């Protein structure tokens, strides 16, 4: 970046109804944050004390830059905290998972049932020769068995690597090879919009030249059941039925690896992020309880797939360690109609709903009449993650879905961070466009290239200044890449995102530092221009890129998806330019606007600006394995 830059901030804020605070876990953000500052290690130790350990830690933290150890020499097993302790605390018959199929079929699984199935499958994995430390690749549709497989790995200390079931065989192949997976757990097919999508055939292709793979476990959902090749293929349900139902949790060191998970691949090739047992468990439990304000009585619906970190942390490990009920579904948001998700919220009394801006913008595009058909009074808390939640999308979510009574948590975090890092605690004032303030326990700041804090209103680089329990420990097989995160700006952890703070310490994410636009010597975050465009009534979604310009440095090109009912025209282009000019000033106006039907996105729903840019400039877009078709 050439220099720091000013950002136009509006001071709008919403205060949730005071009743929200009456029952919230965090009563006052400032008190919680100051308590942490007074005794950082004590803060984390207190949270860890809420969980069960086979042996307690000698030290809370050991930090030798850039390597951290948390809860040293403590022993635990995350599945003990997600399952056994609820069973022993009289909650065996509480519902753990509600699953809804693409065709609306329901399945309900209690904690007792989940516990049994996990132990059976864990024994099944053992019978296939899986031992502590082995990598198991899980490539499945969003069915309960996907979660059972994850927990079964954790039960015996195998390191799971969940690969999103929507990936193609090349992406799967490279992830299997990178992690050197011994076993692949898969299903015959996924079902999407009433259609069968073969997974197993993709696995067959992916394991060619992957000699690390010894066995493939196949969940057969279809009839007639597909033939298995008995030398290396095993039926999922057969090993469940055959195996002993008792499996003691493996005693895991706090620093033993729990899983490898690949990032979304938005900015480049995906990185295999490694998380460990103790710190990750504490971080996801903590933020599920104290940030999402999750109670045992909640029905939590996180619409991600367990193939992404959001699913790992806030479908599986966080909510189950708190003892809540989770809803999962194979259904797509607009099939058979754009009311399907809202009907499910009504039907299952969902109280905490956590989704992504891409979904919210899709619903905005379809119109308010869909959510209005359903009674959404059960909702208590709404969350967002993955991309900046544009102020326009915030307002819509708050008003149309939350009816002005639900706090909105725009949570900023990454695969690498394992847990929420910046958000607005329940009951605190919310500012549209701002994720919020650092989670108590996290020291985040906006700095210049030399690591010096920039003043409020000035854009800069987002960094985390101190280690935290659920931070990644390495990039699998590429520790050099890991060290880069902690050595780019001073000794800080560099997130790779641009941000700005306001006078109250609220942080707004301005986009990726890779996507920064430099126009006539001024830096502009892509999210700023996109949010300005999305705030126009005709615009459903926008992506901007910089094109090299001999005079300006970058000239801005905007790609626009219109809302239903609006037509592309030159007049509208002029309107949009004027709109951006009024909102952000003359520097930020797009020189070119193109109306499009869709935008290139990752399979986790993030706009891939690098693809737009490469197409525009006729250059190589780089790794496209994550691109949604």
Which positions lie near ligand ATP, rule CB under 6 A? Answer: 263-268, 270-271, 309, 385-388, 410-415, 435, 495-497, 509, 512, 604, 606
Least separation in angstroms between residue 463's CB and ligand ATP is: 12
Q: Give whichever of 387 and 445 is closer to Mg ion, judged by the CB atom.
A: 387
Q: Give whichever of 119 and 270 is closer to ligand ATP, judged by the CB atom.
A: 270
The pair of structure tokens assigned to 279 is: 């710190």
Least separation in angstroms between residue 356's CB and ligand ATP is: 9
Parallel, antiparallel or unpaired: strands 507-512 and 75-76: unpaired
515 contact choice in Mg ion, ligand ATP, none (CB below 5 to 8 Å, kind-dependent): none
387 contact choice in ligand ATP, Mg ion, none (CB below 5 to 8 Å, kind-dependent): ligand ATP
Beta bridge partners of 55: 75
Q: Give whichever of 123 and 161 is closer to Mg ion, judged by the CB atom.
A: 161
Q: Give whichever of 228 and 627 is closer to Mg ion, judged by the CB atom.
A: 627
388 contact choice in ligand ATP, Mg ion, none (CB below 5 to 8 Å, kind-dependent): ligand ATP
Q: Give whichever of 76 and 423 is closer to ligand ATP, judged by the CB atom.
A: 423
Positive/negative CA dihedral, 112, 114, 115, 119: positive
Least separation in angstroms between residue 599's CB and ligand ATP is: 14
Which residue lies nearest Mg ion, judged by its C-beta? 263
Q: Give whichever of 102 and 387 is closer to ligand ATP, judged by the CB atom.
A: 387
Peptide bond into 224 cis (omega under 30): yes
606 contact choice in ligand ATP, Mg ion, none (CB below 5 to 8 Å, kind-dependent): ligand ATP
268 contact choice in Mg ion, ligand ATP, none (CB below 5 to 8 Å, kind-dependent): ligand ATP
Q: List the x/- string, 254-283, binding to Mg ion by CB under 5 A.
A: ---------x--------------------
Distance (Å, rounded) from C-alpha 408 to C-alpha 426?
8
Least separation in angstroms between residue 166's CB and Mg ion is: 19
410 contact choice in ligand ATP, Mg ion, none (CB below 5 to 8 Å, kind-dependent): ligand ATP
Least separation in angstroms between residue 484's CB and Mg ion is: 12
Q: Give whichever of 384 and 602 is closer to Mg ion, judged by the CB atom.
A: 602
Least separation in angstroms between residue 455's CB and ligand ATP is: 22
Q: Give whichever of 276 and 411 is closer to ligand ATP, judged by the CB atom.
A: 411
Least separation in angstroms between residue 417's CB and ligand ATP is: 8
Least separation in angstroms between residue 496's CB and Mg ion is: 6
Q: Give whichever of 260 and 435 is closer to ligand ATP, judged by the CB atom.
A: 435
433 contact choice in Mg ion, ligand ATP, none (CB below 5 to 8 Å, kind-dependent): none
- Counting beta carbons within 10 angstroms of the beta carbon of residue 40, is it exposed (0 to 12), middle (13 to 18) or buried (19 or more)? middle
Say if CB 98 and CB 106 are below 8 A apart. yes
424 contact choice in Mg ion, ligand ATP, none (CB below 5 to 8 Å, kind-dependent): none
Q: Give whichever of 126 and 613 is closer to ligand ATP, judged by the CB atom.
A: 613
156 contact choice in ligand ATP, Mg ion, none (CB below 5 to 8 Å, kind-dependent): none
Backbone angles phi, psi at 302, to 5 degrees: -105, 120
Match 């753990």 to its residue by tokens.
96
Least separation in angstroms between residue 338's CB and ligand ATP is: 23
- Rounded to 5°, the CA angle 155-139-142 comes to 85
DSSP 434: -
Least separation in angstroms between residue 179's CB and ligand ATP is: 16
270 contact choice in Mg ion, ligand ATP, none (CB below 5 to 8 Å, kind-dependent): ligand ATP
Least separation in angstroms between residue 416's CB and ligand ATP is: 6
Locate all alpha helices (DSSP H) within 66-199, ordered by sequence: 78-79, 85-88, 111-127, 144-156, 169-179
The pair of structure tokens assigned to 280 is: 């990750």
Q: Give whichever of 64 and 620 is closer to ligand ATP, judged by the CB atom.
A: 620
Say if CB 51 and CB 81 are below 8 A apart. yes
Say if CB 529 and CB 544 are below 8 A apart. yes
Say if CB 625 and CB 171 are below 8 A apart. yes
583 contact choice in Mg ion, ligand ATP, none (CB below 5 to 8 Å, kind-dependent): none
Q: Give whichever of 363 and 413 is closer to Mg ion, judged by the CB atom.
A: 413
Positive/negative CA dihedral, 321, 327, 330, 332: negative
Beta bridge partners of 366: none
Backbone angles phi, psi at 218, to 5 degrees: -120, 120
Say if CB 114 and CB 87 are below 8 A apart. no
Q: Give whichever of 263 and 526 is closer to Mg ion, judged by the CB atom.
A: 263
Distance (Å, rounded) from C-alpha 148 to C-alpha 316?
10
Least separation in angstroms between residue 298's CB and Mg ion is: 29
Distance (Å, rounded) from C-alpha 341 to C-alpha 371?
9
Q: In what order do the strands lie in the sheet with 183-187?
A: 233-235, 215-219, 183-187, 135-139, 159-162, 257-262, 272-276, 474-475
Determine the 3-state secondary structure of 274 from DSSP. strand
Least separation in angstroms between residue 495's CB and Mg ion is: 8
Say if CB 85 and CB 52 are below 8 A apart. yes
385 contact choice in Mg ion, ligand ATP, none (CB below 5 to 8 Å, kind-dependent): ligand ATP
Q: In what order do the strands lie in the sheet with 352-355?
A: 106-110, 95-100, 325-329, 299-302, 352-355, 381-384, 408-410
Which of these, 550, 528, 518, lies nearest to 2 by C-alpha position?
518
386 contact choice in Mg ion, ligand ATP, none (CB below 5 to 8 Å, kind-dependent): ligand ATP
Q: List the x/- string, 218-257, binding to Mg ion by CB under 5 A.
A: ----------------------------------------
Show Cβ contacts of residue 64 under 8 Å, excluding neighbours closer than 6 positions.
Answer: none
DSSP 83: I
DSSP 54: S
Residues making contact with Mg ion (CB under 5 A): 263
């Amino acid at each position: 970046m050439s220099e720091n830059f000013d950002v136009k901030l509006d001071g709008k804020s919403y205060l949730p109804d005071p009743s929200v605070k009456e029952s919230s876990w965090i009563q006052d953000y400032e008190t919680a944050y100051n308590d942490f500052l007074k005794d950082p290690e004590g803060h984390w130790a207190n949270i860890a004390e809420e969980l069960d350990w086979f042996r307690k830690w000698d030290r809370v933290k050991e930090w030798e830059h850039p390597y951290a150890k948390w809860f040293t020499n403590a022993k635990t097993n995350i599945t003990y905290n997600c399952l056994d302790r609820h069973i022993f605390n009289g909650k065996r018959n509480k519902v753990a998972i509600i699953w809804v199929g693409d065709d609306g079929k329901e399945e309900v699984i209690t904690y007792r049932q989940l516990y049994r199935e996990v132990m059976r499958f864990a024994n099944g994995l053992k019978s296939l020769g899986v031992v502590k430390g082995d990598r198991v690749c899980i490539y499945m549709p969003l069915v309960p068995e996907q979660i059972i497989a994850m927990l079964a790995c954790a039960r015996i200390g195998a390191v799971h690597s969940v690969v999103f079931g929507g990936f193609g065989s090349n992406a799967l192949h490279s992830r299997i090879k990178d992690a050197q997976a011994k076993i692949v757990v898969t299903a015959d097919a996924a079902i999407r919009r009433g259609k069968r999508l073969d997974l197993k055939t993709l696995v067959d292709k992916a394991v060619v030249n992957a000699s690390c793979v010894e066995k493939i476990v196949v969940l057969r959902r279809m009839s007639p059941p597909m033939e298995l090749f008995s030398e290396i293929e095993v039926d999922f349900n057969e090993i469940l039925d055959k195996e002993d139902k008792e499996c003691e949790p493996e005693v895991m060191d706090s620093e033993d690896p729990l899983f490898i998970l690949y990032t979304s691949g938005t900015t480049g090739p995906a990185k295999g992020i490694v998380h460990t047992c103790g710190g990750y468990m504490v971080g996801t439990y903590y933020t599920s309880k104290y940030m999402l304000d999750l109670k045992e009585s909640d029905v939590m619906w996180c619409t991600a797939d367990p193939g992404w970190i959001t699913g790992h942390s806030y479908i599986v490990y966080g909510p189950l360690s708190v003892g809540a009920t989770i809803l999962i579904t194979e259904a797509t948001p607009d099939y058979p109609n754009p009311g399907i998700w809202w009907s499910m919220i009504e039907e299952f009394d969902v109280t905490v709903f956590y989704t992504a801006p891409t979904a919210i913008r899709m619903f905005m595009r379809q119109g308010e009449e869909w959510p209005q058909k359903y009674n959404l009074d059960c909702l208590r808390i709404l969350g967002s993650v993955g991309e900046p939640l544009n102020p326009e999308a915030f307002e819509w979510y708050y008003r149309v879905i939350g009816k002005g009574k639900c706090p909105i948590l725009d949570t900023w975090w990454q695969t690498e961070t394992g847990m929420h890092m910046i958000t607005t605690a329940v009951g605190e004032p919310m500012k549209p466009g701002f994720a919020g303030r650092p989670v108590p326990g996290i020291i985040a700041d906006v700095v210049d290239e030399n690591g010096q804090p920039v003043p409020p209103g000035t854009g800069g680089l987002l960094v985390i200044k101190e280690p935290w329990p659920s931070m990644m420990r390495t990039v699998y097989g590429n520790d050099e890449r890991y060290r880069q995160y902690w050595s780019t700006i001073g000794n800080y952890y560099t997130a790779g995102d641009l941000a700005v703070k306001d006078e109250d310490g609220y942080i707004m994410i301005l986009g990726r530092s890779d996507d920064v636009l430099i126009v006539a010597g001024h830096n502009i975050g892509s999210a700023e221009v996109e949010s300005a465009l999305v705030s126009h009534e005709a615009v459903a979604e926008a992506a901007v890129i910089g094109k090299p310009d001999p005079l300006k440095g970058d000239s801005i090109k905007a790609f626009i998806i219109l809302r239903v009912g609006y037509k592309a025209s030159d007049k509208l282009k002029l309107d949009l330019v004027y709109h951006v000019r009024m909102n952000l000033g003359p520097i930020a106006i797009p020189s070119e606007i193109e109306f499009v039907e869709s935008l290139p996105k990752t399979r986790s729903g993030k706009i891939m600006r690098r693809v737009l840019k490469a197409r525009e400039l006729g250059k190589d877009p780089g790794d496209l394995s994550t691109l949604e078709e």
